[in-house]
Structure 1
Amino acid sequence: MNTREIFLNQKIPDINREEQRAIGDFGMTASATKQSSEIGAQVLKNGGNAVDAIVAMQFALAVSEPFNTGLGASGFLLVYNQYSGKTKVINGHSKAPDQLTSDMCRNEKGEPIPFSERTINANFIGIPGILKAMETAFNTYGTMPLDRLIEPSVQLAEEGMEVNWLWDMALKMYGDRVGTTAKSFFFPDNVPLVKGEIVKNKELAHTLRIIQEKGIDAFYHGEIGDAIIQLINNENGCMSKEDLQGYESKIQEPILGSYKDFHIVTPSPPNGAGVSLLQLLKILEKVKIEQYPVNSWEKHYLLAEAMRIVFTDKLTYMGDPDFTHIPVEGLLHPEYIAERVKLINFEGLNQGVDFGNPWKYDKKGVQSEDSLHRELQGGETTHFTAVDSWGNIAVCTSSLEHYFGSGIMVPGYGFLLNNDLTDFYPTEESVNDLQANKYPVSSKCPTIIFKDEKPFMTLGSPGGPTIVASVAQVILHVIDYKMDLKEAIEQPRIYNSTAPTILCDGSLNEEVKSKLSSIGFEIIGTDIAIGNVQAVLMDQEKNIMYGAADSSRPGVAIGIFKENNEGY
């Protein structure tokens, strides 16, 4: 059975869904692992703020979800400071090394290296940025000692944790991608770890001890960095010490948009998901999607066609803004949105959907050459959030790009390296082409929504190209269909890219699937939910927070009450 068949036939085990919803008035955490949520909640109980908690949670996820994130990952962190009322983006996205060239995408015959081979090729390891982002966030907003934030994860790595069903599934689906060092950890005695076993990562604990003692700088300038570069060089990769040492995590302005009376804040390019989310929501607002029942074929038809419109634009225009102008203003201009809406009708699949021309609505640059489209490959990542008693919010999506990243684990240090540079288009015919010192386009979409200038909800999801679809649908389910947060997350979701194929949750109404098939869509069902949304909703009038974790992973949400300072 191949990976796709395993994916489509995998059954999610029963989990305690009560752990996946929470309420509190003193703080809230939500993530894809119980260990991470608990560690973050304890930081909040001990007087730490949201950024303290999110830093601790990232280290905890490096132990408890090491195949989706870790020290070698990348990510975007969104921080809302309630004192200033400002939201900032901390960019920890992977960057291409200085010696990377487009020739590295081709074999000795000059032919493109197949995508599957690029995913385990050391030349497609991006300079890891997540720890730099955490360092920048901590230095800007943090209040607790860093070594104290790391200590729970050290103990977790040393004492061990029980392998959950997600580990078991990941190894069955993608375990063949791991290299020799990683195999010795995930396949002890050549046998894969299985649900219920206790797994310890003493090498990762050693690495975390170094960071406790010497700071995150040790990862980029010290012995950890030296081990990374030596390994990549041994694997014939091109990253150098100078690449690692020169990496900077920038504090950036987010992109702002709206949906009805709500204001939406999300990362700007080189994150491509933020613009796409805002564009998708504006199209759906224009067609008044809320007039159709939540389980109707009309609602799902509008979603599918709107996604096709938005993602053709994304694949055409999104790149690194340091290398090309991106027509953000044009893509979100009301007149351009109105033009794109005209492509939608209820007669059937519109064969004429293609990228539009936002340049005539964009005043900040001139048109660049058109780029070729490509179908994004599936990826995995993780999303987590923390809200503190003061009202500060920290929300992060971090990733190794695919399950197990590059499959390359740093010997003696216990963490995997990403394969983020597979997000580049491997030729020069795209604004997202592979170049040295360039960010590939990211699909990460950590999001904060405001109502009347106060935080209303924060959410995000893993899922590579499906992330925007997951985030948008949960927003619609909460705002338009007035669903409870957990109910909104569990509502069946769909994803459609530039092609007529729709990926849908297995629980989607059969009548909806039949109707969409009859008008030209190809329906592919799966029992695994699209994405894994973690979210917190804030009731400002009652001063109550509601948290929810998605049942597609064994995550939890933990709320804290001021009265007894205990988790709910």
Structure 2
Amino acid sequence: MKQLYFLLCLLLVGCRSEPKVDYEAQKSATFTTAAVAGPHPLATRTAVEVLRRGGNAIDAAVAMQFAMAVVFPRAGNIGGGGFLVYRAADGATLSLDYRETAPAAASRDMYLDTAGNVTEGLSTRGHLAVGVPGTVAGIAAMHERLGTLPWAELLQPAIDFARDGYRLSESEIDRLKRYHADFNEFNETTPFSDSTLGAGAQVKQPDLAATLIRIQEAGRDGFYTGETADLIVAEMESGGGLITRDDLAAYAPAWKEPITKDYKGYRLLSMPPSSSGGVALAQMAEMVEPYPLGDYGFQSVRSVQVIAEAMRRAYADRAEYLGDAKFYPVPVDSLLDDAYLRQRMADFRFDTAGTSVTTVAGQVAMKENFETTHISIVDSLGNAVSITTTLNGNYGSKVMVDGGGFFLNNEMDDFSAKPGVPNMFGLVGKEANAIEPGKRMLSSMTPTIVEKEGELFMVIGAPGGSTIITAVLQTFLNVAEYGMELPEAVAAPRFHHQWLPDQILYETDALAGGVLDSLTELGYQFREVNSMAVIKAVRVLPDGSLQAAADPRNPDDDVEGY
């Protein structure tokens, strides 16, 4: 068996003596049997090898997530958390919330100074920014319930990458260099030193390999108890963090029913709270459905108005109502009520821009950075997996567990450090997302599966902070309304409105042909950005083949299959 793993590692990583990166990302391809879209070629190839060996989509996702923790350190992780949306070949659906939680010692005002103002950087950098990680528990839970191949076998490729080394891509080298000073501020040493950041640099991560071996041998207990837990707690104590052994031992992921919404013959399946993604996506889809977007045309003045005003209203509701439903009475049914959503657009007019001053959260009956990462998988049986995971910012809190070899998240910033004050993504939250011990912080991650006439149609998701939800919506509409092929739909320029600040962000090539000028005349305000969320998607074509597309916005995004 060891020889098999060694040969697999050679297949994936190639000859290590060559001073170059020995893998290359492909952005789109069509496969007959199974397909994977993800953030890094070594991770997607790991998943495809699992599928070829008879593993199902969950098996591939397990191996891929651990591989990403090694080869994609800016966002792949065992020190963060995530969400799974799953659709079995027979149409059964599930979602799994393995979002991080606030430590037991966390408190509502922990990031405020004596004057009651948010202390800059305290929730985004360093040990106090870290929430209790959920990734390993989540992966273990999905494997226990839905996996088929042995756990130890699925971790071995990641262990081999960490122990034997792999070559950093130019994109990852550039990103690591950008945060080198941050690493030095919070860590005595990391594997990403000056000597490993040259062209075609090879990096080995022996501490991470040892951590992964403990997880391989003991499952979730190899992370949440024993030596790894001791290392995490020692790191917390060294830097003033809050996570304790009890916090780690008590962590539990949660199985839930996905959010569902019908749209013109399609059905969207997405993530419920503590993600805001599913609710907001469903709201926006319902609000734009009555309008003939296909007739208006892609990014015409009317199309942009309708979509942007739906975005504005959904994000206003997000700020008011969405949070961890275990701690706050999130009115999901009311927020997704068709009559309520029709009423939300009742004051929309084509002859003038709306404003976020006058657009507030709707009245409902009370009874919910861009460095995240996403994978979309469809296996040979038709099982589909949509998973988004994150450390939040690039390399999370910038804290690497000494002796453990992995970065910890800075997810505490996704709480409302002070209700009404924006977080690092400019998102405003209120009481629903205030800090409480054991609570999951609100997320914009939107892993989504789309059905068409009852059959699997698309698997989609993205990193991108607050722009994730709107990017998923636009990519779906690009296919469903504007008739684009999936690679074109993924690459198409995008725009984004999140209620506050009251402006539309747009990518450089978006809103062309005078559309920007026309909308400005109507009173809309704009800010140009280089890029926003990075989509990874798989579409089932009419002949049953699988069209996979990775986003050109990230050089390392890759699709693989067979």
Indicate yes or no: 2:63 matched with 1:56: yes
Indicate yes or no: 2:498 matched with 1:491: no
* 1:324 counterpart residue number: 328
The whole-number CA distance in structure 2 between the counterparts of 1:182 and 1:543 is: 50
Count, aligned residues:
526
Contact 1:287/1:341 (CA < 8 Å) preserved in 2? no
* 2:13 counterpart residue number: none
The whole-number CA distance in structure 2 between the counterparts of 1:156 and 1:17 is: 17
- Compared with structure 1, are the counterparts of its residues 173 and 466 closer, same or farther at alpha carbon in structure 2 (3 Å cutoff)? farther
The whole-number CA distance in structure 2 between the counterparts of 1:258 and 1:536 is: 20
Q: Secondary structure at the match of 2:537?
A: strand
The whole-number CA distance in structure 2 between the counterparts of 1:390 and 1:52 is: 13
The whole-number CA distance in structure 1 between the counterparts of 2:317 and 2:525 is: 22
Letter aligned with residue 313 of structure 1: D
* 1:218 counterpart residue number: 222
* 2:546 counterpart residue number: 545
Residue 525 (structure 2) aligned to one of 522, 529, 543: 522
Contact 1:330/1:358 (CA < 8 Å) preserved in 2? no
Residue 262 (structure 2) aligned to one of 243, 258, 264: 258
Residue 46 (structure 2) aligned to one of 39, 50, 54: 39
- Compared with structure 1, are the counterparts of its residues 157 and 447 closer, same or farther at alpha carbon in structure 2 (3 Å cutoff)? same
Q: CA deviation at 1:292?
A: 1.2
Alignment of 1:230-245 (within 5 A): 230-245=234-249
* 2:202 counterpart residue number: 198
* 1:161 counterpart residue number: 166
Q: CA deviation at 1:234?
A: 1.6
Residue 128 (structure 2) aligned to one of 111, 123, 126: 123
Q: Secondary structure at the match of 1:448?
A: strand
- Compared with structure 1, are the counterparts of its residues 159 and 513 closer, same or farther at alpha carbon in structure 2 (3 Å cutoff)? farther
The whole-number CA distance in structure 2 between the counterparts of 1:399 and 1:506 is: 26
Q: CA deviation at 1:379?
A: 3.9
Q: Secondary structure at the match of 1:397?
A: strand
Deviates more, 1:44-53 or 1:348-357: 348-357
Alignment of 1:506-521 (within 5 A): 506-508=508-510, 509=512, 511-521=514-524
- What do the CA deviations read for 1:470-510 (whole angstroms, capped 9, x no partner)? 00000000111111100000010011111332221112226
- What do the CA deviations read for 1:361-402 (whole angstroms, capped 9, x no partner)? x4x72xx9xxxxxxxxx3420000221111111221000011
Residue 533 (structure 1) aligned to one of 532, 535, 538: 535
Q: CA deviation at 1:353?
A: 3.9
The whole-number CA distance in structure 2 between the counterparts of 1:54 and 1:358 is: 40
* 2:422 counterpart residue number: none
The whole-number CA distance in structure 1 between the counterparts of 2:561 and 2:437 is: 44
Q: Which runs of 5+ in 2 are unaligned?
A: 1-22, 420-429
* 1:249 counterpart residue number: 253
Q: CA deviation at 1:549?
A: 0.6
TM-score, length basis structure 1: 0.88
Q: CA deviation at 1:524?
A: 2.2
Alignment of 1:40-119 (within 5 A): 40-83=47-90, 85-107=91-113, 109-119=114-124
- What do the CA deviations read for 1:4-59 (whole angstroms, capped 9, x no partner)? xxxxxxxxxxxx99811122222111101001100000000011000000000101
Residue 390 (structure 1) aligned to one of 361, 372, 381: 381
Alignment of 1:454-493 (within 5 A): 454-493=455-494
* 2:6 counterpart residue number: none
The whole-number CA distance in structure 1 between the counterparts of 2:25 and 2:290 is: 36
TM-score, length basis structure 2: 0.89
Q: CA deviation at 1:86?
A: 1.1
Q: CA deviation at 1:219?
A: 0.1
Contact 2:109/2:417 (CA < 8 Å) preserved in 1? no
Q: CA deviation at 1:128?
A: 0.5
Indicate yes or no: 2:425 matched with 1:434: no
The whole-number CA distance in structure 1 between the counterparts of 2:392 and 2:482 is: 32
* 1:504 counterpart residue number: 506
Residue 27 (structure 2) aligned to one of 1, 17, 20: 20
* 1:373 counterpart residue number: none
Q: Secondary structure at the match of 1:19?
A: coil
Q: CA deviation at 1:175?
A: 4.2
Alignment of 1:283-298 (within 5 A): 283-298=287-302
Letter aligned with residue 47 of structure 1: G
Contact 2:377/2:459 (CA < 8 Å) preserved in 1? no
Q: CA deviation at 1:150?
A: 1.1
Contact 1:50/1:388 (CA < 8 Å) preserved in 2? yes
- What do the CA deviations read for 1:97-121 (whole angstroms, capped 9, x no partner)? 11111232123x2433334332014
The whole-number CA distance in structure 2 between the counterparts of 1:159 and 1:349 is: 57
- Compared with structure 1, are the counterparts of its residues 234 and 225 closer, same or farther at alpha carbon in structure 2 (3 Å cutoff)? same
Q: CA deviation at 1:158?
A: 2.5
Letter aligned with residue 402 of structure 2: P
The whole-number CA distance in structure 2 between the counterparts of 1:116 and 1:516 is: 36
Contact 1:99/1:436 (CA < 8 Å) preserved in 2? yes
- Compared with structure 1, are the counterparts of its residues 123 and 283 closer, same or farther at alpha carbon in structure 2 (3 Å cutoff)? same
- What do the CA deviations read for 1:233-268 (whole angstroms, capped 9, x no partner)? 221122111110011111111111111111111111
Q: Secondary structure at the match of 2:102?
A: coil
Q: Secondary structure at the match of 1:88?
A: strand
Contact 2:370/2:532 (CA < 8 Å) preserved in 1? no
Contact 1:177/1:404 (CA < 8 Å) preserved in 2? no
Q: Percent identity over the alignment?
A: 30
Q: Which runs of 4+ in 1 moved over 6 A?
A: none
- Compared with structure 1, are the counterparts of its residues 185 and 517 closer, same or farther at alpha carbon in structure 2 (3 Å cutoff)? farther
Deviates more, 1:91-100 or 1:180-189: 180-189
Contact 2:122/2:128 (CA < 8 Å) preserved in 1? no
Contact 2:316/2:360 (CA < 8 Å) preserved in 1? yes
Letter aligned with residue 535 of structure 2: V
* 1:302 counterpart residue number: 306
- Compared with structure 1, are the counterparts of its residues 440 and 128 closer, same or farther at alpha carbon in structure 2 (3 Å cutoff)? same
Residue 144 (structure 1) aligned to one of 149, 153, 171: 149
Q: CA deviation at 1:192?
A: 7.8
